[in-house]
Structure 1
Amino acid sequence: MTMPPFITLALATVLSTSGTRLSAIAIPWLVLTTTGSPVLTGLVGFAELLPYVLAKALGGPLIDRIGARRIAVWCDGLSTIAVALVPLLFWAGLLTIWVLLPAVALIGVLRAPSDAAKQALVPTVAALGKLPLERVTGIMGASDRLAGTLGAAGAGVLIALLGPAPALLANALAFFLSALVVTLGIPRLPAEPPKRDPSTSYRAEFGAGWAVLRNDPVLRGLVIMIAITNLFDQAYAIVLLPVWVRSAGLDVTWVGIFLAAFSGASIAGAAIAATIGHRLPRLAIYTIGFLFAGPLPMAIFAVNAPVAVIVSVLMVSGFAAGFLNPIIGAILFERIPAAMVGRVIALVGALAWSLMPFGGLYAGLLVDNFGIAIALGVTAMLYLLATMTPVAVPSFRQMDRRPLVQA
């Protein structure tokens, strides 16, 4: 029996994102345990994410030209090879920090168009299934959270059993299966890629996408706020959390357990958002979701609460955060013209991730100079200030409106 296209896309997202979550734990842990340096750990995150951001921003017009399905398949297939290079270099005894840096940069370049292409397929699979956008973005949000849970939990186990470098083979396999699922499960559509004027230049298409983003106050506000919070999320995920775990005398499996507790609970939140998201007040849920997503988890680590309390807080926080992606996704697709989905979604994603390359460096320098408790406390306070933006900026109030975008 053939799966509906939106289920196929959700499965591909689970596969590729869970592999990415695994590498997001394995690679920083590899650097941290071999060098002992939070700064070098942050540098590796920078080396992957800066190329990711640039490739995502520049690849948007290609998604609209070539087609989101084709880009997703090819980039996931090439990512399989790129990720597999890391354990191969490790076994060959060639994996120094200076070899790892260009290797992760290549992974970032290939991941970016694939992530944007999968997101650009959302309106297509929603139309095929005759489903409201909140339903499909909710399913995709739950898929992303499920991937985070599986990737985090799997990373802890695989790294403990095999070591961080060999564990990356699971990431390579996940990318391969994602490419296969999209190839077999999402049909080639006559409308993909959309018709375009062959005389239109790449620069003009990129500029048109930028104009859509620049002229929409809701999209502008979302991108700026998410870019700031992503900086702190990245600092937490690749430096602050692993350093806290090591300083507490725990092993790497606890990094996976903490991340899985948050992501696992967020699946329930995303599932509820998929069911009733179109009836919820977006601005209120958005603000509350961010409050629980960042400041609260970081604060509980900063005060060195007992592990059982930390896990409980992470589960509550994850549940609330699960409502965010379905709401954000629905807002984006409502406000972006159908013919420009690829380039605008890619721009939104790139700009939202634009500060993430600096997250690890920020956290590494903060930990080196002030210690892990102060680093967590300062980051929690800065995250809280960013979370209050929707209350202070009037343009955010427009997110509760549901405009009809032009085709």
Structure 2
Amino acid sequence: MRSTRLVPVALVNLASALSATGNGITIVALPWLVLAQTGRATDAGIVAGAATLPLLLSSLFSGTVIDRFGRRRISLVSDALSATSVAAIPIAAATVGLSVPLIAVLAALGAVFDPAGIGARESMLPAAAKHAGWTLDRSNSVYEASYNLAYLVGPGVGGLLIATVGAVNTLWFTTGCFALSIVTIGALRLEGSGTPDAASRPASMWAGTLEGLKFVWHNRLLRTIAWVDMILVALYMPVEGVLYPAYFTELGQPAQLGWVLAAMSVGGAIGALAYGALAARVSRYALFLIAVAGLGACMVGMAFLPPLYVTMTLAFLIGLVFGPVGPIANYAMQTLSPEHMRGRVVGVMTSSAYAAGPLGYLFAGPLIDSFGIRTTFFALAIPVVVLSLICFALPALRQLDA
């Protein structure tokens, strides 16, 4: 009987892990594919930016889509679109040939519905936790740990596959991950995951999105988390998406890129799982501050481009201290948002991070070409240290333990 109760939470976590594994492989494969063709970090930044630029609008409206059409259905559609766009890259390579604009367009198409899929699965967590008899802290801890494990498997396998079968053929494995996620969610039966009642659905896409925006803006804690997350994404994501791919391309070591990202994912999984045990003993506020300060300190260390074992250690520490942030943010969204608006709140919070992604990617590529990898790394790391000091002075974050 107890094992039956765990089925929904297991399926949600498995589907999220499969989809994240596919995205983790893509993070490594696409920049490598572009750099192998042109050798220009700017081109890699263009593709990375193209994959994130549509996310600003799509993530903003994704929550309304979820609340209008249902969480399970949107998760299925999201993975189907991702699988189709990723599979189109090796097909194009074998037929018409690849170019940077074509890769950028396909990357954008594949990513445009990702926020809706992620938001749909996150919105199902409270019902899955209730069905399993778990607390929200435990459910969020396991969910974020499985997500981080997926990014351990994704980039690590991606780097190894690139080294053995090439970047183009690696994308077939990505397509398979999305297909398996579709099968997993197809088997899910969970209260609240179907089409919402007409009375609770948003009146229109625009009206629903405005309701979500107003709700987040008028909540001091959610608004503060959104701003901090936005700045961190703009400063850190180019490290994974542009700086390290360019650095390890120069070294001719694709597998080492996978090892660094894998070390970070191992740390993130351990940190997220540890949160489940720490939540009852350590304040969420303290864990949040440790995460931001630890990220800044480790990024400064990485900026010196130390030997591989030092870089992997710093990457592990980033994952470890930042592992609890995902569960903490999820807890805030789940406890502060009404059930019928959860999709919209998650969508707005997600869009705040995606808004900064394209700026960070497009800023990093030209900086690398003009000033080099090390200087660009410091230009991104030092502002994170400054932000960590500012967080100590933000009273809204103390509400994490209210």
**TM > 0.5:** yes
What is residue 93 of structure 2 aligned with on the other side? 90
Q: Helix, strand or coil for the counterpart of 1:203?
A: helix
Aligned residues between the structures = 398
1:153 aligns with 2:156: yes
2-structure distance, mates of 1:101, 1:306: 32
1:176 to 168, 172, 179: 179
2-structure distance, mates of 1:159, 1:306: 22
Change (3 A) 1:343 1:190: closer
Q: Helix, strand or coil for the counterpart of 1:227?
A: helix
1:5 to 4, 8, 11: 8
**1:10-49 mapped onto 2 (5 Å cutoff):** 10-49=13-52
2-structure distance, mates of 1:83, 1:250: 25
Letter in 2 for 1:168: L
Deviation at 1:299, TM superposition (A): 2.1
1:189 to 188, 191, 197: 191
Q: Helix, strand or coil for the counterpart of 2:279?
A: helix
1-structure distance, mates of 2:192, 2:220: 33
Deviates more, 1:65-74 or 1:305-314: 305-314
Deviation at 1:304, TM superposition (A): 2.8
What is residue 215 of structure 1 aligned with on the other side? 218
**1:257-272 mapped onto 2 (5 Å cutoff):** 257-272=259-274
Deviates more, 1:200-209 or 1:107-116: 200-209
Q: Helix, strand or coil for the counterpart of 1:386?
A: helix
2-structure distance, mates of 1:334, 1:243: 41
The answer on whether the counterparts of 1:232 and 1:383 sit within 8 Å (CA) in structure 2 is yes
Deviation at 1:191, TM superposition (A): 6.8
Letter in 1 for 2:388: T
1-structure distance, mates of 2:362, 2:192: 45
Letter in 2 for 1:378: A
Change (3 A) 1:325 1:93: same
Letter in 2 for 1:61: T
Identity percentage over the alignment?
A: 27
1-structure distance, mates of 2:364, 2:304: 17
What is residue 391 of structure 1 aligned with on the other side? 392
What is residue 121 of structure 1 aligned with on the other side? 124
What is residue 282 of structure 1 aligned with on the other side? 284
**TM-score, normalization by structure 1:** 0.93
Letter in 1 for 2:379: V
2-structure distance, mates of 1:141, 1:53: 22
**TM-score, normalization by structure 2:** 0.94
2-structure distance, mates of 1:372, 1:243: 8
What is residue 337 of structure 1 aligned with on the other side? 338
What is residue 404 of structure 1 aligned with on the other side? none
Letter in 2 for 1:258: V
The answer on whether the counterparts of 1:277 and 1:326 sit within 8 Å (CA) in structure 2 is no
The answer on whether the counterparts of 2:127 and 2:190 sit within 8 Å (CA) in structure 1 is no
1-structure distance, mates of 2:378, 2:303: 5
Deviates more, 1:117-126 or 1:385-394: 385-394
2:73 to 65, 70, 75: 70
Q: Helix, strand or coil for the counterpart of 2:400?
A: helix
Deviation at 1:168, TM superposition (A): 0.8
Change (3 A) 1:272 1:90: same
What is residue 405 of structure 1 aligned with on the other side? none
1:41-72 alpha-carbon deviations (Å, 9 max, x no partner):
11111111111221121121121111101110
1-structure distance, mates of 2:302, 2:36: 21
Deviation at 1:332, TM superposition (A): 1.3
1-structure distance, mates of 2:162, 2:197: 47
Q: Which runs of 5+ in 2 are unaligned?
A: none
Deviation at 1:300, TM superposition (A): 2.4
Q: Which runs of 5+ in 1 are unaligned?
A: 402-407
Q: Helix, strand or coil for the counterpart of 1:392?
A: coil
Letter in 1 for 2:89: V
Letter in 1 for 2:331: A
The answer on whether the counterparts of 2:63 and 2:209 sit within 8 Å (CA) in structure 1 is yes
2:55 to 48, 52, 57: 52
2-structure distance, mates of 1:190, 1:104: 32
1-structure distance, mates of 2:204, 2:121: 24
CA RMSD of aligned residues (A): 1.7
1:80 aligns with 2:78: no
What is residue 253 of structure 2 aligned with on the other side? 251
Deviates more, 1:146-155 or 1:320-329: 320-329
